[in-house]
Structure 1
Amino acid sequence: MRGIAIRLRVSPMRPSRPASRYAIPSAPRHGLARVLSKMGVCSRSQAEKAIREGRVSVDGKVVLDPERPADADRQRILLDNEPIAASTRVYIAINKPRGLVVSAADERGRDTVYDLLKDAGLPWLGPVGRLDKASEGLLLLSNDSVWAARLTEPKHHVDKTYHVQVNDIPDQALLDRLIEGIVEEGERLAARRAVLLRHGEKNAWLEIVLDEGRNRHIRRLLAAHGIDVLRLIRVAIGALPLGDLPKGKWRHLTAEEVRALGEK
């Protein structure tokens, strides 16, 4: 019996298509409240409030969860029925007077630094760091949350320089102890630099530099050594000085100043 030859036709394998053409788009990385904040529309707390009040929609649906993932590049996001768009980046310096609260709205009705910006025609701006009510001097505000984080996150160690009037005349040993630091309630409080600027008979002015700031950092550090603060003025952030900016006034930062601070 003759064998029967069977010829099989095998189609050549087609090259696989690039996986990237069929890759599933990556999921949005940030919650809705953070998206609004990063775009400079409002603060994160303001965004959370607006979302919970039902004032924000994504692709036509009202979202009530501030942490729901969202992507402003791929989704249509409305706030009060108006499309959101990234605001022009604004960076300003204020010479904060003593007695003002660094807050957009104070629950106790106290005057805030935002009273200095009334009728200025500025977009929403958030404080870059804080100064307590009794402190004064250089305060930055911006709607650029990435830039602000670069200046305020402890890991970046951006110097803040203060002139501090105290009710004593510290000697060098005490200044050294300020640099050595203390631990209070689990927090390490220390100065990067502390020098005596001038003194009278009963009080003195110190220059204190911090490379990270905790709540009431300088006041707590000095109080631990029995010294009271009479005045506390922030005179520089990084290489940016307060300069001759009048008390209660503000100005735009130059592009060079913004870049220099962001590069620290």
Structure 2
Amino acid sequence: MVEETEGVRLQKVLAAAGIASRRASEIMIDKGRVEVNGKVVTEQGMRVDPERDKIRVDGSRIPPPRRHIYVVLNKPRGVVATLEDPEGRPTLSDYLPRTRERLFHVGRLDTETEGLIILTNDGELGHRLSHPSYEVRKTYMVEVAGNMDNKTFRRLEKGLRLEDGPVKPDKLKLVSRTETRSLLNVTLHEGRNRIVRRMMEAVGHPVDRLSRIGIGPVRLGQLPVGQTRDITPEELGALMDLVGL
């Protein structure tokens, strides 16, 4: 916490973050809805460092003022998950907004997999989101060939042993099935290459279509294929909490 003579008044920080007007922010402080570094604030006039202090409203993290770019892309199928390709194939760069800042993508997404990919120039957040020690969960919608029976589903749910070690989904849901196809929702904190495809192949149901729809608290939602959007303040605050920033 910074000294009282330094920093920015808390209500001004909340207003600048778009939480509420300064007057409405003061009322939230009066009602004990605001925390700074884990302590409820009820007195007006507190000064904070918005870059360093952890500020929450109703338990939700308010991220610091943005010094970096954070973008969500709904990657189309067939696009290489890189910014440049010597073979001239379509890349992420073809779908990004023009910016002077060089962005990099967070984590893997193979060429035939579509869906959510995060791009940023925030090296520390990107590193932590990608590092296996933080166990960031990724959620996929998976369409596989064939009618997956209950026995096979339970086998997947309990976990499998692949050639490079065991894997067990954090969450698994059978969304629908017909005689020729099954649709599943799979959540994993695994980062191994082609892990979802290899899981399905191991139980005899090769993947026909694979889409990542979530990374931690960030969801693809209704974002059209090939389009981008900025990560929301709520998503960014939750991501920072998730990886201890």
TM-score bracket relative to the smaller structure: 0.5 to 0.7
Query: Residue deviations 1:14-58, cap 9 Å, x none?
Result: xxxxxxxxxxxxxxxxxxxxxxxxxxxxxxxxxxxxxxxxxxxxx
RMSD, matched Cα: 1.7
Change (3 A) 1:115 1:222: same
Change (3 A) 1:244 1:122: farther
Match of 1:30 in 2: none
Question: Do the aligned residues in 2 keep the contact of 1:93 with 1:139 (CA within 8 Å)?
Answer: yes
Q: Does 1:96 align with 2:78?
A: no
1:241 aligns with one of 219, 225, 243: 219
Match of 1:161 in 2: 139
Rounded to whole Å, the distance in 1 between the matches of 2:223 and 2:147 is 29
Higher relative contact order (CA 8 A, sep 6+): 2
Secondary structure of 2:151's counterpart equals helix
Q: Does 1:197 align with 2:178?
A: no
User: How far apart are residue 117 of structure 1 and its match?
Assistant: 1.7
Match of 2:119 in 1: 141
Aligned length: 177
Structure 1, unmatched stretches of 5+, are 1-86
Match of 1:68 in 2: none
Rounded to whole Å, the distance in 2 between the matches of 1:90 and 1:206 is 33
Match of 2:153 in 1: 175
User: How far apart are residue 122 of structure 1 and its match?
Assistant: 4.6
Find the structure with the greater CA-based Rg: 1
User: How far apart are residue 173 of structure 1 and its match?
Assistant: 2.3
- Whichever residue aligns with residue 95 of structure 1, its letter is N
Runs in 1 of length 4+ with deviation above 6 angstroms? none
Alignment of 1:43-62 (within 5 A): none
Percent identity of equivalent pairs: 39
Match of 1:115 in 2: 94
Q: Does 1:127 align with 2:108?
A: no
Match of 2:37 in 1: none
Change (3 A) 1:122 1:92: farther
Structure 2, unmatched stretches of 5+, are 1-65
Rounded to whole Å, the distance in 1 between the matches of 2:104 and 2:117 is 11
Secondary structure of 1:191's counterpart equals coil
**TM-score under structure 2 normalisation?**
0.68
Question: Do the aligned residues in 2 keep the contact of 1:150 with 1:262 (CA within 8 Å)?
Answer: no
- Whichever residue aligns with residue 175 of structure 1, its letter is F
Rounded to whole Å, the distance in 1 between the matches of 2:162 and 2:190 is 15
Alignment of 1:222-237 (within 5 A): 222-237=200-215
**TM-score under structure 1 normalisation?**
0.63
Secondary structure of 1:130's counterpart equals coil
- Whichever residue aligns with residue 185 of structure 1, its letter is E
